[in-house]
Structure 1
Amino acid sequence: MKLVGYIRVSTDRQVEDGFGLAVQEKMIRAWCRQQGHTLGRAAYRDEGYSGTLPAPERPALADALSEVEDGQAAGIVVGRLDRLARRLITQEAILAQVWKNNGRVFTADQGEIFQDDPEDPMRTAMRQMMGVFSELEHSMIVARLRAGRKEKAVQGGYAYGAPPYGWQAVSGELVEEPAEQVGLARARELRAAGASLREICRRLEAERFPPRRSDRWHPEAVRRMLQHEAPYTLRPRTT
């Protein structure tokens, strides 16, 4: 069976230690070989996207699901179910989308995630319990990170997660990233001229302004980039 692989790490890369993109892809490929399935291409990768986001807001996941919808792949495979979603409602929506298009969902650690069966209500209950605990784990991680960031901010460091496109954190301070600043300025110029998000994607790629965490630009990534009109304001250092 031809499948499409999907791998993801969140914005806060440190919480993914031990299960990064390379580990996930290796796990997926090993499982596919063992089960006799094939991957049509390298796994789609969302680097820096939370699993709480719906599919349309994760560019690589949207592309992977499109392959299933178009019949290019019979299903999607992930390392673990929490790579697909970190929120129960998001998990169920993504699964429903795949099943609606006659696709199948697999995880390398547990095998196929089956559709609901009216004669087996425990199947649905167990799947949704996995989603509930995944969401709980995510909430606890976020709470710990928030506490750590507050402490870091008090000490005068940059404490707001991954810097937006056009900026980088250096020694606890947010500074401009020259090449990305040029691309950011170009995107704003195109938007001001009335270009759609998709048109901006095409123009940035044609003019060789690469995105930070993907092979190509996606409308959602451009929208998020343009939301940051100015860099974050850092709290002054205390002495």
Structure 2
Amino acid sequence: MAQDASQSSRFVAYYRVSTDKQGRSGLGLEAQQKAVETYVSGIDGDLIAPPYIEVESGKKKDRPELIRALAHAKRNKATLIVAKLDRLARNVSFVSALLDSSVDFRAADMPSANRFMIQIMSAVAEYEAQLISERTKAGLAARKARGLPLGNVANLIPGNSPAPRINKAKANAMAERMRPVVEAIRADGVDGVRAICGQLNERGYVTDRGNHWHPTSVSRLLQRLE
């Protein structure tokens, strides 16, 4: 639920970016980070973990990074924070489910938002998303009828796509969350890729995709941490 600034000063940040819409949205990854950091510092708060970054369509309910962010916030009695309210979802039932959870949540652009306001805004966002989808389909159909190329032409130019930068930021954030785990394993006298891999699996840790660890994924993790 929403809360006032005095109720919590510990935050877990959740950012959602869509590689095909980021440039048009006006609120890419860097802008979301700046908005959240500005708000948190303004109330003398603390971001207790690296951010959770979701590369998803706003229409999807299945968001593994959001689930991890909520779990992290719940374990640490922290507040989940997003930069902009309509970045959470385009679906009213999804927002309602989040509000029904036991994790407090806040949006940097509207920290005083209450339950009613959030549900109204999510409904409006869902309606706007539907209109955008209909206009996009109509526009693509018109281009196809004229024999014009489909898709984002700008992203076809080498170096223009934001996907590599987003994926790198997401991988770095995941690695930082695993740093204390790796350090604890090494403190127990365990070292080496295969040995650390065995310990991660034995202790129940999974990759950011929910899979078991393998020497290759552990090697990449260690390279990022070093």
TM-score interval for Structure 1 and Structure 2 normalised by the shorter chain? 0.5 to 0.7
Alignment of 1:80-229 (within 5 A): 80-97=84-101, 100=102, 103-114=103-114, 124-154=115-145, 155=147, 157-159=149-151, 170=156, 198-199=210-211, 202-203=213-214, 206=217
SS class of match (2:213)? helix
Percent of pairs identical after alignment? 27
> Which segments of 5 or more consecutive residues in structure 1 lack a partner in the other structure?
115-123, 162-168, 172-196, 216-239
**TM-aligned CA deviation for residue 78 of structure 1:** 0.7
Name which of 27, 30, 46 aligns with 1:22: 30
Q: From the two aligned structures, give the one with the greater strand fraction.
A: 1
1:17 & 1:107 partners in 2: Cα distance? 17
- Does the 8 A contact of 1:79 with 1:107 survive in 2? yes
Runs of 4 or more consecutive aligned structure 1 residues displaced over 6 Å after TM superposition = 207-210
1:14 & 1:78 partners in 2: Cα distance? 16
Q: From the two aligned structures, give the one with the greater helix fraction.
A: 2
2:97 & 2:105 partners in 1: Cα distance? 13
| Number of equivalences | 160
Aligned-pair Cα RMSD in Å: 3.0
Q: Structure 1's 158 and 67: CA in aligned 2 closer, same or farther, altered over 3 A?
A: same
- Does the 8 A contact of 1:65 with 1:76 survive in 2? yes
Which residue is 1:59 aligned to?
64
Which residue is 1:42 aligned to?
50
Residues 1:31 and 2:23 are matched in the alignment: no
**TM-aligned CA deviation for residue 153 of structure 1:** 3.6
Give TM-score scaled by structure 1 length.
0.57
Q: Structure 1's 31 and 209: CA in aligned 2 closer, same or farther, altered over 3 A?
A: same
1:16 & 1:156 partners in 2: Cα distance? 21
